[in-house]
Amino acid sequence: MEKDRFYASVYEAIQEVPYGKVTTYGHIARLIGRPEYPRGVGTALKNLPSDANLRFNESSVPWQRVVNAKGSISPRGPGSQRRQADALGQEGVEVSQDAMGEYSVNFGEYGWFPELLPSEEAEMAQEQES
DNA sequence: GTTTTGACTAGCT
DNA sequence: AAGCTAGCCAAAA
């Protein structure tokens, strides 16, 4: 199904976000060729399986490295924001919390926004050979 | 089945 | 500058 391919693309793209860096839902959407559907990236993450036997699951996909365009951790279930903030802190990403309780990261220091996925660059290089 | 919600965002007020 | 809208479409209701 098309949606499954979309999910897989989302997970694959997120796996290329480097340790200690963060990117946005919108950026992932653009990287996989669906610039108009950043919301789908969020949906895919919401449905990320916990089952360790599956190819894509909570430990194989660095879900914590995805934040919203404002640089903050998107609100969802209670405690979930805190969990993500902790996960990021674990890998050296500073997460600050404002008076409103909103967690955010500094893109200048931690942002990761390539034009192409590293894997795609590799393919491009491959084609150059002759 | 149909309708509403929502890990979103760029563009307008 | 803070808030609203349209567009998006899978999930949940």
Paired residues of A104 in beta bridges: A72, A96
Termini Cα distance of chain A? 36
Task: Give residue limits of the domains in chain A.
Answer: 2-113
pLDDT tier for residue A124 given thresholds of 50, 70 and 90: confident
CATH 3.40.50.720 fits A2-113, yes or no: no
pLDDT level of residue A1 (50, 70, 90 thresholds): confident
A32-67 burial string, b = 16+ CB within 10 Å, else e?
bebeebbebbbebbeebeeeeeeebeeeebbbbbbb
CA of A70 to C1' of C1 (A): 14
A80 touches strand B (CB under 7 A): yes
Minimum-distance nucleotide, CA of A34 to C1'? C8
Instruction: Determine the 3-state secondary structure of A87 from DSSP.
Output: helix
Whether the pLDDT of residue A96 is over 90: the answer is yes
Backbone angles phi, psi at A111, to 5 degrees: -65, 145
A38 touches strand C (CB under 7 A): yes
Using pLDDT thresholds of 50, 70 and 90, give the confidence band for residue A52: very high
Q: How far apart are CA A56 and CA A67, in angstroms?
A: 19
Q: Residue A121 above 90 pLDDT?
A: no
DSSP, collapsed to helix, strand or coil, labels residue A96 as strand
CA distances to A1, A100, A127, A129 from A14, rounded to whole Å, are: 20, 28, 24, 28
